[in-house]
Amino acid sequence: MIQLRFLFRLVTTHMRMHPGRAVVTTLGIIASTCAVVWVVSGYDALVSQFDENSGKYLGMYDALVVSHGGGPPGSPTATIDPLMIETLKHDAGVLEVNPVSNTRVTATRVKAVPNDDQPTSSLTLLVGDRPPVNGAPPLGPTMVSTPADQAPYDLVDGQWLSKQTDVASAVVSEKVARDMQLSVDDQFRITTFGNQVVLNVIGIVEQAPEAPMLSERRRGRNQNQSQRRNAQIDQRDARELTQSESPIRERTRQQNDADSGADTITNRIKLPSGLTQGIATQAIYVRPEMAAKINGYPTQPHVLQIAFRDTVTSHQFHQAWRQRLAAERPPLKFIDYSVVRSGMESSSKVSGQQSQAWAATGMASLAGIFIIFSTLSMGVSERAREFAMLRAIALTRTQIAGLIAIESFVLGLVGWFGGLLAGWIMVMVGSRLLPSLFASGAILGWGCILLTGITVLIGSAGAAILPAWRAMRIQPLDAMAVPPTAIRSQPWMILAFLGLMLTASTPIVVFLLPISDQWRTWSYSFLAYPMLLVGMILLAPGIVVACESAFAPLLTRALRLDSRMMKTQLSNNLWRSVGATLALSVGLGLYASTQTWGHSMLVPFTPGQWLPDALVAFHPVGLATEDEPLVNQVDGVDANEVMPLAIEQAKFDWGEAGQPKRLRMGGDNGIVCGLDPRLAFGGADPFLAVKFVAGDRESVIKSIETGDSCVVAEDFAMAAGLHLGDSVTLIPPAAENERVQYRIAGIVSLPGWQWVTKFSGVRRHFTRTGTILFASRDSVRTRFHLPRTEFFWLNFANKDSLGGTLADHQALGDSQISEIEAGLQAIAERHAGETFAAEGVGEVKAYRPFARMTATQNVKEAIRMRADGMIWGMSYLPLITLMVMSLAVANTVIASVRSRTWEFGVMRSIGVTRSQLVRLVITETVLIGIAACALSMTFGLIAGWCGVGMAQFGGWFAGPPSFRIPWLQLSFGFTLALTLCLAAGLWPAIKTGRAEPLALLQAGRTMQ
């Protein structure tokens, strides 16, 4: 204890004598701790609200009963048998049963005044007032049909739904009101495949901000095992009930089977469904009669809200009903407060916040390690004689190492406490002034304190290892030795060679090694990528020396300095310069790789020049043959460039071989697009200007005209391992006992087909799809039983005659698109009142058919807006790390100034001006920034390129890898890095420039 106290006094005394570096290091730890607090406080806020939000989710009810039937994303939610509802209502322990149904809709606010425009978003461009589609995610509100007499949740404003069923009114959740900027008495437009109705807001209710995860996909292992055991018990207990179904249910099933058999060749579409299991939290509440008018069919209940009598507990009810709930087909699931509370912990938002918290902790730990390491490492170099004298006087090697460790932990602890205080102030003030940065709320909880403590502990411990080892190697006789001032060239050259070898191994593993996808993924994750990181570290000394040789003469000439002053400044203190370069490169390199990977991955998903101006879908009933020519007559449409299509989404029949391994997301189905091949691909100016990767245009046209050939996308062919002459077999959704086979006559490049099909309505049955293929229109109509034409590709008229500026052109284009869509809508409404068949629903009445026009320019703009937001969202933490790491540069400059104090005194004595001295220090900091930019760009381009290459082995994109360097975004990061370096060097430079020559000489003498 006495030894520790003595060592602690030595450390604190040294810090008091040289406070500058300690202050800079402490500020770095404070900044990194604040970054963790900023991210983790949102997670702590979510955790603290689990109990409250679980109660809000159930509202005035005690439990829910939902269908337990699983399926792929977007599968229709199974309805609950009316007989079961009636049986539950007559249970002695049940006070109330409220059957509700969820329907996916599109909702937009009706403008109060003509110029009351809402901000344009990517979703607004592609969806707007149009009905929802299968391909687009359910981002909007959910319409909930409820017969409840009283509000199931606390009313924030207004009143609950009246008993009058013909009133066009609705009650919305607080989140919907906030997102759509709605108040009581406002109006909004609600749209489905069957109708479009304007509703009045009469009330706003308070609901949980997020829905729990009620499915088992994201549950913990123990929870899944428990639920499996319960399910096995339920199934065992329910066997007797399943063997003797009620006569009503048996008659209903027979009727459904009869209807299914009668409609075998009836083409049915699948209405878009959401991912909600349970009660929607973004809800629009309406009466069942109004829901039937909006949907075009009577709604059936998906969820039962149950209130118990005071004498019955949730556990008692579950024990009494678990057999009968399990006997239903599909089984019904009982959800009470405990299940909701558990689901809150597993929700996607909580998982995302948790991932961000750990990412922030990792980045902050790296920042802490580098900042403290730079301080300790430079301190060991400067205090080598001091440590040697301490060794000669009394201290052992262990005590010298203890000095380094104590200094590291003191710096870390002081920075931690300061960071918690600063973080608490940031959370309290920021959540009020900038609530958008704290969308989930913000509190300084124990999780935040724990993770920041882990950050400081890891940073302090990791940073002290190498400096302590170096300090222990100092001998007592080193007090009389003169430290070397230069370094030989061989070491960094050898390191650079090894670094190049390790760096080159990464693209070799990704692009050249003939190994399986699983081994390639494993090798990249655990071998190639770590080798790339090590290679960059080994390359750092060579890049520093190269940047000094290339840019030092240019900078000294620009700043009017003698080039000999900076000729070897970085290389003479190579390891110090390398440490600062690596510190900056942690954040800057991740930023560069994120931007490069993100923008490169955009290339295959951005619509190319092959696409026509727009794809029009007449939903849901299509057009009669006599109405098809009307599309050519719409104002603004080029009458000579309209192509009717026959489109169906069908599953593949892969036979005994099974689905190709690289086709994972939506690879079980594809979109068959029937067209006129000569109009599409023929002539000097084809309608679809696609690039043929395999096959030639003329032979492809002739093959497709025969009716048994097709053209497939390049990415699909690569993923499935298909070539010219191979065949693909599809299953018509209207006749699943039939098979349709096409021979591949051509392979084409179709960049952007994913997003065009995502929002245009061509995904008629499934949320995800694996490809789009082209065949003869007559063949697709006949073999897939498509009675009417629903889709058209078209080009706009006079699109090249729009004059004015770019802004004027965009405004005129938007106006033209609206006018064209209005003309197409008039054609669609000619079929108002007709019915169509929908999967799981039956006959649906289309009160207002829709003409959905997906303009290619809108798709491109929406992709740009969405991608920019996502890529910059991933870049925030690297940029914050870069800002924190800039303090390591300040440490380096302080050390450089201190080590050259005597030299600066001599230079000032022989006539060097204060301004020249300041410019000399600034030149050194800028050179470090340039070296960091060069190293980061090297890492970013290689890591981004290899990341794009690995995408084809991940199962979600298997096309040829693309590579794009985002110069504008990279220049922003590099400019920020150089600016931070300049700012980090200003204070040491100005302080040195203001010192008198005699003071510099005296200070330099004391350090020798």
For the chain, the average pLDDT equals: 82
Could you tell me which residue, 437 or 566, shows the higher pLDDT?
Answer: 566
The whole-number pLDDT of residue 479 equals 62
For residue range 880-899, list pLDDT tens digits in order. Answer: 888 887 877 777 777 777 77
Task: Name residue 692's beta-bridge partners.
Answer: 748
Which pTM value belongs to this model? Answer: 0.81
Q: Identify the band that residue 250 occupies on the pLDDT scale cut at 50, 70 and 90.
A: very low
Is there a contact between 904 and 1000 (Cβ–Cβ < 8 Å)?
yes
Q: Which residues contact 617 (CB under 8 A, 6 or more apart)?
A: 760, 761, 762, 790, 791, 850, 851, 852, 853, 854
CA angle 350, 352, 353 (to 5 degrees): 65
Q: Identify the band that residue 134 occupies on the pLDDT scale cut at 50, 70 and 90.
A: confident
The residue-averaged pLDDT of 988-993 equals 83
For residue range 670-690, list pLDDT tens digits in order. Answer: 999 999 999 999 888 899 999
With a cut of 50, say whether residue 262 has pLDDT above it. no
Lowest mean pLDDT among 107-111, 697-701, 939-943: 107-111
With a cut of 70, say whether residue 808 has pLDDT above it. no
The whole-number pLDDT of residue 76 equals 65
Specify the 3-state DSSP secondary structure of 100. Answer: strand
Q: Which of 302-306, 439-443, 957-961 has the highest mean pLDDT?
A: 302-306
Could you give the C-alpha distances from 668 to 316, 650, 729, 774, 952, in angstroms and in order? 44, 9, 11, 17, 17
Q: Which residues contact 38 (CB under 8 A, 6 or more apart)?
A: 360, 423, 426, 427, 430, 437
The whole-number pLDDT of residue 71 equals 55
Q: Which amino acid makes up residue 767?
A: T
With a cut of 70, say whether residue 279 has pLDDT above it. yes
Q: Are strands 142-145 and 283-286 parallel, antiparallel or unpaired?
A: parallel
Could you tell me which residue, 1002 or 206, shows the higher pLDDT?
Answer: 206
Q: Which of 28-37, 44-53, 490-499, 679-688 has the highest mean pLDDT?
A: 679-688
The whole-number pLDDT of residue 955 equals 62
With a cut of 60, say whether residue 847 has pLDDT above it. yes
Q: Which residues contact 437 (CB under 8 A, 6 or more apart)?
A: 38, 430
CA angle 939, 943, 949 (to 5 degrees): 155
With a cut of 50, say whether residue 803 has pLDDT above it. no
d(CA 601, CA 966): 12
For residue range 747-795, list pLDDT tens digits in order. Answer: 999 998 988 898 888 998 888 888 999 999 999 999 999 989 999 999 9
Q: Identify the band that residue 811 occupies on the pLDDT scale cut at 50, 70 and 90.
A: very low
With a cut of 90, say whether residue 508 has pLDDT above it. yes
Exposure string for 930-952, b = 16+ CB within 10 A, e = fewer: bbbbbbbbbbbbbbbbbbbbbbb
Q: Identify the band that residue 248 occupies on the pLDDT scale cut at 50, 70 and 90.
A: very low
The residue-averaged pLDDT of 808-830 equals 76
The residue-averaged pLDDT of 693-705 equals 92
The whole-number pLDDT of residue 694 equals 92
Could you tell me which residue, 322 or 221, shows the higher pLDDT?
Answer: 322
Token pair of 801, please?
């005659």
The whole-number pLDDT of residue 116 equals 55
Helix, strand counts (H, E) of the chain = 33, 23
The whole-number pLDDT of residue 252 equals 41
The whole-number pLDDT of residue 971 equals 94
Q: Identify the band that residue 1006 occupies on the pLDDT scale cut at 50, 70 and 90.
A: low
- Please, what sign has the CA dihedral across residues 893, 895, 899, 901? positive
The residue-averaged pLDDT of 332-357 equals 81
Is there a contact between 824 and 853 (Cβ–Cβ < 8 Å)?
yes
The residue-averaged pLDDT of 235-244 equals 44
List, as one string, the DSSP characters of 497-547.
HHHHHHHHHHHIIIII----HHHHHHHIIIIIHHHHHHHHHHHHHHHHHHH
The residue-averaged pLDDT of 148-165 equals 90
H or E stretch covering 298: none
Could you tell me which residue, 816 or 341, shows the higher pLDDT?
Answer: 341
d(CA 711, CA 4): 77
Q: Which of 280, 326, 322 is nearest to 305 (CA)?
A: 280
d(CA 701, CA 371): 65
With a cut of 70, say whether residue 814 has pLDDT above it. no
Nearest-10 crossing angle of helices 856-899, 967-994:
20
Q: Which residues contact 307 (CB under 8 A, 6 or more apart)?
A: 60, 61, 62, 94, 95, 96
Specify the 3-state DSSP secondary structure of 752. Answer: coil
Token pair of 771, please?
């490809």
Could you give the C-alpha distances from 231 to 81, 500, 682, in angstroms and in order? 20, 57, 60
The residue-averaged pLDDT of 358-381 equals 73
d(CA 892, CA 577): 7
With a cut of 80, say whether residue 957 has pLDDT above it. no
Q: What percent of the chain has pLDDT over 90?
A: 34
With a cut of 80, say whether residue 229 has pLDDT above it. no
Lowest mean pLDDT among 197-201, 210-214, 446-450, 636-640: 446-450
The whole-number pLDDT of residue 79 equals 84
Specify the 3-state DSSP secondary structure of 49. Answer: coil
DSSP 297: S
For residue range 584-602, list pLDDT tens digits in order. Answer: 888 899 999 999 999 998 8
d(CA 144, CA 606): 36
The whole-number pLDDT of residue 157 equals 93
Could you give the C-alpha distances from 282 to 64, 77, 176, in angstroms and in order? 17, 17, 6
Counting Cβ atoms within 10 Å, is residue 788 exposed (0-12), middle (13-18) or buried (19+)?
A: middle
d(CA 665, CA 891): 49
Lowest mean pLDDT among 185-189, 357-361, 514-518, 638-642: 357-361
CB-hemisphere CA count at 13 Å for 937?
18
The residue-averaged pLDDT of 401-424 equals 85
User: What residue spans define the domains of the chain?
Assistant: 1-62+334-483, 79-207+274-311+325-329, 543-607+857-1007, 621-798+810-848
Specify the 3-state DSSP secondary structure of 181. Answer: coil
d(CA 746, CA 713): 9
CB-hemisphere CA count at 13 Å for 829?
9
Q: Which residues contact 94 (CB under 8 A, 6 or more apart)?
A: 88, 306, 307, 308, 309, 312, 317
With a cut of 60, say whether residue 281 has pLDDT above it. yes
d(CA 345, CA 366): 29
The whole-number pLDDT of residue 170 equals 95
Task: Name residue 173's beta-bridge partners.
Answer: 205
